[in-house]
Amino acid sequence: MFFLLGNCYNTVIAQQGWTIDLLKKEEKTRPAKFGSRQLGSERMAAKKFTKPRQFIQNNFTHFNYYFNANNKLNLVIEKASAQQKDDFNRLISFYPYTLANTRTQKTDLDSVILKATAGILLHDLRNDWIDNMYLLIGKSYYLKNELDSALATF
């Protein structure tokens, strides 16, 4: 029984064969010099993933994108925690912040999403930090109270 449910679950969530169309409708007609241009992650897939390449890609992604996006997300949570006022006559929440407090910091959360997305699109997808970047994107959507986008990302 669990095996059957597990098989159904994987095919529904994984969305096999689903791709992201990175170009907007307005950008479908790009200039000729940018028409056949590939993303960094697409170019990297054709190259061998040797140990030096793995070391460089992991370090660049970790310290340039993940580190900065994670620090920005932690600052958002700290600001939301500072704004939180507990009412001791009611049940105190487990987390020291609410989604109403984090939702007010949309620009910071948008920058976290942009940094994490840039780290995914510009670097090799065989990188060790790609899954952490997706978690940062999902957390950012959750803290923005965009629960449908957070669920799709997680």
CA distance 42 to 37: 10
> In this predicted structure, what is the pLDDT of residue 73?
93
Return the half-sphere exposure (C-beta side, CA atoms, 13 A cut-off) of residue 72. Answer: 23
Listed by start position, the domains of the chain span: 50-85+94-154
pLDDT in tens, 86-132: 778 888 788 888 888 888 888 898 999 999 988 888 877 788 888 89
pLDDT in tens, 49-63: 788 888 888 888 888
